[in-house]
Structure 1
């Protein structure tokens, strides 16, 4: 997934292995030693006499080749340390490879192979205290990153990932709708709850419930969206039909908002794009034109995968509503009962078979005073 992919997460190191940060540092140091060895080999060629030039040039080329490999492995160790799709052992693997190439570069250049000492850093196992300290630091960085992203987006990690998937879906499916910005405006009017159809015309009412007058909306686009089931109609008592987005229409509208670049500049351009898609399905020219005038539905895969992300504030509001609904479904308050107060004396039981004074039935809903006394 391209730039819309979820943000990368820190790699998790296993107990006993060097941390990704240590692997990156060792890989970078190995690359520096390899490049230095290649430079020394080149300097030796420049100062050599003609008799030893061929041998030194071969050594220089070998050292330079190993230095390039060492730098490449160091780059990959740093890159994959922040890539959640890579295994946690990737930084260690590439750090070891960088050290190996650095040793070969120094050997080819004829200098002391000091890069071999770096292997000890990679082989050294983390103690339990070091691992605990690293794990604490990693979690602290993750918490800070999560707090920053929540403050910026107002969403938790799961909903940020869903928003990224929605953007990816939009890039792949909006162009296939064959829409213009005018189609989006029609659906936005329907989303407001003020789009209605009366006397063969589509209008956007000044306010909900007043189905007369208002701004005119494109009749052709409204009819096309309704025929393609992006709009639903609810008939009123006076014969007026109020138009609202269908579930497919709402999803298509959200995707079009996420990727407006997929909309066509004009109705003619949109028609030509639809014509190109249906041309091979029909042999007769008239059938091709008729099919191109029909808006295609939103792809079924996009309908299944699209989910509207919920903000943290929205989650809290929904949790409060669910708590109220659950409280009411479990009995709620007993009509006519006073607010519960501590009993001043021993509880007084109601005679068996008598009715509840607050509901008039034999069963009480808490918090009924008589029910508490039984």
Structure 2
């Protein structure tokens, strides 16, 4: 209530200033005083947790503005929003929707990560497993695969046991197998990167933090010790939006480029039927030296290639009527129904598909 009262006094002060200037004939500052008073009223209502009624007052102020003034303010607002968006994109490499996703995930991380009770070494072990570098030998001991691809130093068994029991690591077999990460582990890694302050410096500090949390639940000291000896599992709430991660502008461009390359690769695949290939072979039998057949990509339709006659000196003739040997539904046409013909270079004699 003290905060609400302070904002109310501020609103009253601006209202008094507006009355004084109006009485003195000073009309130019009035809109600014009125808007400041309305803003203070809005803050007072928010602090008092009552419904906001200032929207109608702002609408009244806008009704006194000329169309030119409203247009000028709209343009200024659009410019400010554009400048802000450009600044944010330069700082974060994200557009507005993905920044909102990241803000959402940061909020989730600040709540979830401190409850997990992880240490830096646990995070590192899961990262090793995610990279395929954690190996479970025949004795059930986890070892780190070195650069030579050979299992080397031992990773603390107690740490691996906790992660496996909580469902963050798994193996295909009980021995002689890679330790694999689960979706919950990948989610934990992502959230830990957003809130590294919630990760403890070592396993001892992580255990102490879990014990402290367990003791606050008043379940008895022994029950608290038993609870602290385990890692909590990632709950359903923490797994929300696990498949809806924010993407940077760079990542989006890479996806678009990959899609373009995939479309180009598909376009380079054989799209002409055997009938067209057979017809092209018959044309080749009539060609003079220097001429060759070539299938080239249609720049507008990625699933279409055209047949050309190409000379070594750069001349090029399109084979007229060629339709890749397919009907309108994309079905292959038999050779007797092909409508393909070509004017042989340096002659006036056409060759048809039925020759």
TM-score (norm 1): 0.57
Consecutive unaligned residues in structure 2, runs of 5 or more: 1-10, 23-32, 45-50, 278-293, 297-305, 309-316, 342-352
Distance in 1 of aligned mates of 2:248 and 2:108: 20
Task: Report the equivalent of 1:319.
Answer: 256
Equivalent position SS for 1:300: coil
- Higher helix fraction: Structure 1 or Structure 2? 1
Q: Does 1:142 align with 2:81?
A: yes
The question of whether the paired residues in 2 share the 8 Å contact of 1:27 and 1:73 is answered with yes
How do 1:252-271 residues align onto structure 2 when only pairs under 5 Å count? 252-271=188-207
Give the alignment partner of residue 231 of structure 1, picking from 166, 169, 188: 169
Give the alignment partner of residue 64 of structure 2, picking from 124, 131, 147: 124
Q: Give how far 1:27 is off.
A: 10
Equivalent position SS for 1:301: coil
Q: Does 1:76 align with 2:40?
A: yes
Distance in 2 of aligned mates of 1:70 and 1:137: 20
Distance in 2 of aligned mates of 1:230 and 1:196: 15
Over 3 Å counting, the alpha-carbon distance change for 1:371 and 1:175 in structure 2 is: farther
Task: Report the equivalent of 1:347.
Answer: 321
The question of whether the paired residues in 1 share the 8 Å contact of 2:94 and 2:249 is answered with yes
How do 1:7-86 residues align onto structure 2 when only pairs under 5 Å count? 32=17, 73=37, 76=40
Q: What are the Cα deviations for residues 279-329 of structure 1, in whole angstroms up to 9, with x where unaligned?
A: 6696793x6534332211123111113443110111122233345556777
Distance in 1 of aligned mates of 2:35 and 2:144: 63
- Higher strand fraction: Structure 1 or Structure 2? 2
Task: Report the equivalent of 2:311.
Answer: none
Task: Report the equivalent of 1:93.
Answer: 57
Give the alignment partner of residue 211 of structure 1, picking from 120, 142, 150: 150
Q: What are the Cα deviations for residues 40-86 of structure 1, in whole angstroms up to 9, with x where unaligned?
A: xxxxxxxxxxxxxxxxxxxxxxxxxxxxx999836637989xxxxxx
CA RMSD, Structure 1 to Structure 2 (Å): 4.5
The question of whether the paired residues in 1 share the 8 Å contact of 2:166 and 2:230 is answered with yes
The question of whether the paired residues in 1 share the 8 Å contact of 2:42 and 2:53 is answered with no
Q: Give how far 1:95 is off.
A: 11
The question of whether the paired residues in 2 share the 8 Å contact of 1:150 and 1:156 is answered with yes
Q: Give how far 1:92 is off.
A: 7.1
Over 3 Å counting, the alpha-carbon distance change for 1:275 and 1:323 in structure 2 is: same
Task: Report the equivalent of 2:282.
Answer: none
Distance in 1 of aligned mates of 2:92 and 2:184: 26
TM-score (norm 2): 0.60
Consecutive unaligned residues in structure 1, runs of 5 or more: 1-25, 38-68, 81-86, 97-120, 353-361, 365-369
Count of aligned residue pairs for this structure pair: 268
